[in-house]
Structures are given as structure tokens and as C-alpha cells.
Amino acid sequence: MAEDPRKIVEEGYDLVAAAYSRLERENQWPRMRWLSKVLSRLAPGSSVLDLGCGSGDPADIEIARLHHVIGVDLSKAQIGLARQNIPKGRFIHEDLSSLDFPDESFDAVVSFYTLEHLPREQHGPILQQIHSWLRPEGLLLFSYEKGDRNDVTVEWLGAPMFFSMYDPKTIMRLVKDAGFDIIEADVESQLEQNREVSYLWILARRK
Ligand SMILES: C[S@@+](CC[C@H](N)C(=O)[O-])C[C@H]1O[C@@H](n2cnc3c(N)ncnc32)[C@H](O)[C@@H]1O
């Protein structure tokens, strides 16, 4: 690996935070529909962790209506926006792979459009961490770009950006190996700069 992926992603999102927030205005992404599958299963006042929360708009704004939201993001620009957008949320400027929460801290963990920005050999260990942070029966929802790419850096929204992901079968196996039952999984496409991009959506429950 030539350059530190964490540095590429951190500097990249500091540059493209505003451009990224405009992307979804092109059309509606499936994020909120999937999020509603989590929120409909939670009691009011639950604790929800959002990994790679970005600006918090729109997911954390919705979560914070009834729940405690804790967002984590590597980009200072994104965390700044999230703090403005959701004043009652708690937002941590940190690499999600170096977090250390006590066991059984959360009722749900969500992560949208983020895991594919970390080297894929970290994906299994991160899923195991999430499992330990969730209370028994806790929910995990994440999207995962459909593909099979091992550590590539490409131009994205005008900045270099790092991507790395396993094929859908492998990531589903890693979810199960980490101790989750998959409730629902599906591949959905969305438009990004007039390009169709497909994501695997996984909703799972901690055993
Ligand atoms: C495509 S954006 C998604 C933002 C938001 N989740 C959403 O649904 O719009 C990916 C976000 O993940 C963050 N991110 C990427 N790698 C990260 C890491 N290792 N730790 C924390 N945040 C990370 C980026 O800074 C960026 O804000």
C-alpha cells in the first residue's frame, strides 16, 4: 500500500464534504428507508452509534428525534457539520478502527457508505468490535459498496479517495462469523453524479 489510506480519506473528505452533501440532492438514496427498519425496532431513548457519520444529514437528524446519537468521523470538516446539524448529538473526531467503547454500550450501530473507505482486512475485526459494543439482540445496519476491490485510490469528487471491499458473499460471511444473524440483505443501486452505484445493504442482529 503506497500511501496511508486513513490520510487519503481524512484529507479527501475535508475537501469534498460540501460536494458530497450536494450529491444526494440529485435523487433519493435508499439510506432512510433502511434506517426506518432499525428505528421501528428501537424503544425511545435508545443509544445509536453512527460510524462514518459525515455531516449527520439526514440519518442522524432523524435518529436524534427520539434517541441518543453518537457519531464518529475521521474528517474534521464532516464532524463540524454534524455538530451544527445535530446540537444534541455527541460527535467524536476519530478513526473508527481505533475506537474503544465499553462492551454492550449501544442498542444499534449504523454505518452508511463508509466501511469501503477502510482497508478490507480491517472489515472483519471492525464487525467483531461492533458486536462487542452492542447489547444482546442489538441491531447492526450498514451499506457496503458492491464490488471486489483491494485497496485502490481513485479520483472522486475532485480529490483522491481510497476504496477497498470484499465481494458480497465474503462480507456476509464475515458478518455471520462476527456473531450476527442477518435479518435482511439486499443490493440496491443509486445515482451518484449520473452514475449508477450498487450497494449491499445488511440489517443484522447480535446473537
Ligand atoms: C460517503 S461518506 C458517508 C457519510 C454519511 N454516513 C452519509 O450517510 O452520508 C463516508 C464518511 O466516512 C468517513 N470515514 C471514512 N473512513 C473513516 C474512518 N476510518 N473512521 C471514521 N470515519 C471514516 C468519511 O470521513 C466520510 O465522512
178-187 long-range contacts (CB < 8 A, ≥24 apart) are 178/124, 178/127, 178/128, 178/130, 178/131, 179/128, 179/131, 179/206, 179/207, 180/127, 180/131, 180/140, 180/204, 180/205, 180/206, 180/207, 181/205, 181/207, 183/139, 184/37, 187/146
**Pocket of ligand 1 contains residue 115 by CB under 6 Å:** no
List for the chain the helix, strand, coil content (%; round to 5). 35, 35, 30
Q: How many CA atoms lie within 13 A of 188 on its CB side?
A: 16
How many domains, in total, are found in the chain?
Answer: 1
55 CA from centroid of ligand 1 (Å): 9
pLDDT by residue, tens only, the chain of 207 residues: 558 999 999 999 999 998 898 888 767 899 999 999 999 999 999 999 999 999 999 999 999 999 999 999 999 999 999 999 999 999 999 999 999 999 999 999 999 999 999 999 999 999 999 999 999 999 999 999 999 999 999 999 999 999 999 999 999 999 999 999 999 999 999 999 888 999 999 999 999
Domain that holds residue 137: 5-206
Question: Rounded to an integer, what distance in angstroms lies between the CA atom of residue 98 and that of residue 108?
Answer: 19
Using a 10 angstrom Cβ sphere, with 0-12 exposed, 13-18 middle and 19 or more buried, the burial of residue 110 is buried
Cα–Cα nearest to 92, from 123, 49, 30? 49
Predicted confidence at residue 202, as pLDDT, reads 98
- Determine the atom of ligand 1 nearest the C-alpha atom of 6: 19
Q: How distant, in Å, are the alpha carbons of 25, 104, 175, 198 from that of 172?
A: 30, 22, 5, 16
CATH of the domain at 99: 3.40.50.150
Predicted confidence at residue 2, as pLDDT, reads 56
**Pocket of ligand 1 contains residue 122 by CB under 6 Å:** no
| Ligand 1 atom 19 nearest Cα | 95
Q: What's the N-to-C CA distance of the chain in angstroms? A: 35
Predicted confidence at residue 26, as pLDDT, reads 63
Has this prediction a pTM greater than 0.85? Answer: yes
**Pocket of ligand 1 contains residue 96 by CB under 6 Å:** yes
